[in-house]
Every structure is written in C-alpha cells, then in structure tokens.
Structure 1
C-alpha cells in the first residue's frame, strides 16, 4: 500500500518540509529537500528511524538527585522505551564526571549512556 508522509528535516538549519512517498521500506519519491542531507534524512526516517536519547539517571549521595545523561550515538527508535526502562532502574554513586560511562553498550546498540555534567558528592553539614 502506497503511503505519503511529510517530515520536517533536521539535517540542517533550513528545516525543509520533505514529502516522502513510499511502499513498505521502498522509497518511491522524495520532494522538498533543499540539500542532499535532506534526502538522506528522509530515507532513514522512513526505513530505520534513530534518535539520540537524552534523559537522567538517579544519583546516590550526590549534590543533586539526578544527573543528565545521553547516548553516545543515535539508537533505533524502536528500542527507546526499553532503553529508558533500563536507565530508569540505574542508580549511580556520586561523584560523577562529565563523559563518564554510566551504561555500556545499551541493548547491544553500540551506544553508551554517558554523563553530560559533573556531579559532586553531597556535602555533609
């Protein structure tokens, strides 16, 4: 069954409205992209969409209760919810350094979950 989907391209700052005509995983036509990256983005978004996953992880004995983290590369959109479930169960002991690997190779995606800020231990008063 032939389908049409309109996407807002995020490959460059222009934000083109790209229209993709496809049947299953077969791309039939792509219109509206102003640069080659737009065509590639639209193809990937239809066939195998991926995302960087930014979220937070619980911190034990930290100056803050949560530390921001993200994937080191895009992961398939279909595993985002499972990745969030794993991250939601994780608790890390402070101190944490920016770039520290919190979870290695989440769901065999090749992406690590890393801290995106330093987080010191809680200062006892």
Structure 2
C-alpha cells in the first residue's frame, strides 16, 4: 500500500510518501526533517486525531458547549465517539477543562469542555 501524507508538524508541509502494509513500513520519502519521519510513521501505522465538537447545554441561553478530546483518539474510534457524544447533555455551570466524558470508547482520552458557561 502506498499513502501520500501531508506533514502538519511544521509550516513546511512536506508531502511524504509512505509505502508499507498494515504492520510494516517499507519506505518513506519526501520528509525534510526527522520530525516528519516520525509523524508519517505514526500517521501510517496508527492514525489518530484530536476530536473537536460540541454538546447540548440544558437550561442555558447558550445552546451548545464546545468540547474536545484531551489527547488524540484513534481514527477508527472517531465515529463511535461521535455516536456517544451526540446524546450528551450538560447542565451549567461548566468550566473550561471540566471532564464531560471520561475515557470515551476506552480510548484513554477524556472529552473536556473548552469554554465556560455560567
């Protein structure tokens, strides 16, 4: 399998070509630094993302609370996480960094508030 990855570690934005299979990398080309090499290895073998979304707020003039994961979540769990999050409702007061969902989908990541609502 051959995959083209745009590195997001620095402003250069190298286009990195990674060739491999599900468990192994055979070759990497296009990176201009070692950070790009590490990024492309992780992105190829274990892609993960910070999940950013919002949850409903009850009894408040602010209808939605912005939330995010406190660390990257494996890409294959993102849709399962979103299914759980869509049914969550919080009540005020909420402080930034309050944990809304702990260890979502057994990912080791918490969903935390990114704003305050009184």
Report the more deviating stretch, 66-75 or 32-41.
32-41
Matching residue of 2:23: 25
Q: Show CA shifts across 1:29-80 (max 9, x none).
A: 1011111111111111111100000000110012211000000000100000
Matching residue of 1:64: 62
Matching residue of 1:12: 10
Give the Cα–Cα distance (whole angstroms) in 1 for the partners of residues 81 and 98 of structure 2: 18
> What is the TM-score with the length of structure 1 in the denominator?
0.90
Matched, 1:94 2:92: yes
Extract unaligned runs of 5+ from structure 1. 121-125
Runs of 4+ in 1 over 6 A off after TM superposition: none
Matching residue of 2:83: 85
- RMSD, aligned α-carbons: 0.9
Matched, 1:35 2:36: no
Corresponding pairs, count: 118
Per-residue deviation at 1:7?
0.9
Give the Cα–Cα distance (whole angstroms) in 2 for the partners of residues 107 and 24 of structure 1: 23
Give the Cα–Cα distance (whole angstroms) in 2 for the partners of residues 95 and 61 of structure 1: 10
Report the more deviating stretch, 6-15 or 75-84.
6-15
The structure with more radius of gyration: 1
